[in-house]
Structure 1
């Protein structure tokens, strides 16, 4: 296991500030997942009883009155604590133009279906003010950084609407192209494959900005920003996985921190495993405040935590290309690659090829009869 230090001063998300504002006005934090409605501080007619519980002390009321005067012209706003979409939820960092975390819930049914990314397009999130949003041109002119999904499109094949929403740039970070297409892709496939063993998989994914420059006794965090929007390029990416079955109250948890750089097939996933506590220190986020810690087990002790091998990944990529072939010529060309690379197709890939081949034969016959 690779050891990462605990960084007590990780970047602050808008979540902490928004929640603290709610604490001032309501005397307690709002339940997770709810947006906080902020009272108008400048309204001198606002009764104290409307924002303070009667059980609070006079000192609390005095502090509230003081805050009212300090924040006379309103509470500085970094956006909603949580933003909800068709299939995922996230917290967004308006300063860096990237998400803080993105959460999703996978089931055996959610990862299959007719939805296809060919119907989706990357676009700015309409709920984000333009001054806080990334733009497509920031990535297209970045010189090699790809638009990396945090909640991957492939997790939402059950719903085209849910898949489409993953293409909002609030769900995207600048990601090394080779990492995105290779190691990270295999990591995402691993998460989907967990639905074969577990009924429910919850995944939190996001960027990290960790010390990566050492000069003498000092450490520095150095990262690139791209485009006119100055979108921050993370040094690392993380995933927190919580897997469970309906038949058991045990939760299998795995936290992983992966460098945002090219990684080959020689790197095992367990190299990048960290403790939940270490991840929370790096992100400045408490991820599972409502979970029973005594019921947690290490995911990699109940699962192999092995990513696809080079050969199996190649077959996976070719199977996707077969499904997306637009004519018989391209279909046969892809199939011939299997032979040239000496890859042995399994039953699943063979069925894909035969099905697509019959579809094209029927279309060609219908066309000839016109």
Structure 2
């Protein structure tokens, strides 16, 4: 029987930010209620997550609503913001409820917002990465793991990048993947930089201009250390003939654009796709 990757294991190299943390069966994420999309999603890929009998045909995109059971459980209860369940249970420094079902209706994406938009509900943690458990795959279909993607990009270049991440599990002991949206400026006719993006539906889901993936490639015990790779793809049709290496960028580029700080538990010797040593 395949074992579940725990939240603590997924977050081995630290949190890019600490706002609206959500723990699912197959990933950990930070939800941005302003854009109605994830700020980032982190998952661990390995031989124990890619194999299994989970069936995508049994999955449906769904909202993160507040069920009656959740309301009863959360009412009047202060819950620790620690992600690790064992730490959370023992922690006495408590704040507001951070259960994964707690997206307020004002800040929630719906399937109706995507209907007729011509854009895909693009997974951040890919369904195919989590065949080890039907529940794990189901959890990738929450709309808090989704952002609007150009269908040509989603089904071609982005899909190829997801396949590359899975193929790297044959070369590395673990592959940690952090994925999220970007909203990058463009220079217009007046010479000034502007950030423009579309919004979808009555809930105004933000359509990112770009997407990023930051990969932490963990070598086995004999070699030690990790390798970093970071990619940025535009949210528009991308020629599949362009090698994915053309989309590699220094990790600092993504940090500056996103407001996130990746891999706080790694000592980086230099920027970009470089070798680094894990902080012991």
For 1:174, the equivalent position in structure 2 comes to: 148
TM-score, reference length from structure 2:
0.76
Cα shift readout 1:308-354 (whole Å, capped 9, x = no counterpart): xxxxxxxxxxxxxxxxxxxxxxxxxxxxxxxxxxxxxxxxxxxxxxx
Report how far residue 292 of structure 1 moved. Answer: 2.1
Cα shift readout 1:147-186 (whole Å, capped 9, x = no counterpart): 0000000000001111100000000000001111111111
For 2:240, the equivalent position in structure 1 comes to: 265
Alignment of 1:77-92 (within 5 A): 80-92=19-31
Higher relative contact order (CA 8 A, sep 6+): 2
Match of 1:145 among 106, 119, 133: 119
- Separation in 2 of the partners of 1:277 and 1:252? 15
Alignment of 1:328-367 (within 5 A): none
Q: Output the aligned Cα RMSD.
A: 2.1
Report how far residue 131 of structure 1 moved. Answer: 1.0
Equivalent residues of 2:176, 2:216 under 8 A apart: yes
- Separation in 2 of the partners of 1:193 and 1:220? 37
For 2:265, the equivalent position in structure 1 comes to: 290
Q: Please state which structure has a larger fraction of its residues in helix.
A: 1
Is residue 101 from structure 1 mapped to residue 67 from structure 2 by the alignment? no
- Separation in 2 of the partners of 1:139 and 1:297? 35
Report how far residue 113 of structure 1 moved. Answer: 0.8
Structure whose CA Rg is larger: 1
Match of 2:50 among 105, 111, 117: 111
Structure 2 stretches lacking a partner, 5+ long:
1-13, 66-100, 276-280
For 2:278, the equivalent position in structure 1 comes to: none
Q: Please state which structure has a larger fraction of its residues in strand.
A: 2
Equivalent residues of 1:97, 1:133 under 8 A apart: yes
For 2:62, the equivalent position in structure 1 comes to: 123
The aligned length equals 225
- Separation in 2 of the partners of 1:130 and 1:118? 27
Structure 1 stretches lacking a partner, 5+ long:
1-31, 37-79, 301-370
- Separation in 2 of the partners of 1:217 and 1:228? 33
TM-score, reference length from structure 1:
0.58
- Separation in 2 of the partners of 1:260 and 1:117? 24
- Separation in 2 of the partners of 1:222 and 1:298? 29
- After alignment, is 87-96 or 265-274 more displaced? 265-274
Report how far residue 294 of structure 1 moved. Answer: 3.5
- Separation in 2 of the partners of 1:295 and 1:230? 39
Report how far residue 246 of structure 1 moved. Answer: 2.3
- Separation in 2 of the partners of 1:296 and 1:252? 11
Equivalent residues of 2:38, 2:180 under 8 A apart: yes
Is residue 250 from structure 1 mapped to residue 225 from structure 2 by the alignment? yes
For 2:189, the equivalent position in structure 1 comes to: 215
Equivalent residues of 2:210, 2:232 under 8 A apart: yes
Secondary structure at the aligned position of 1:113 is classed as coil
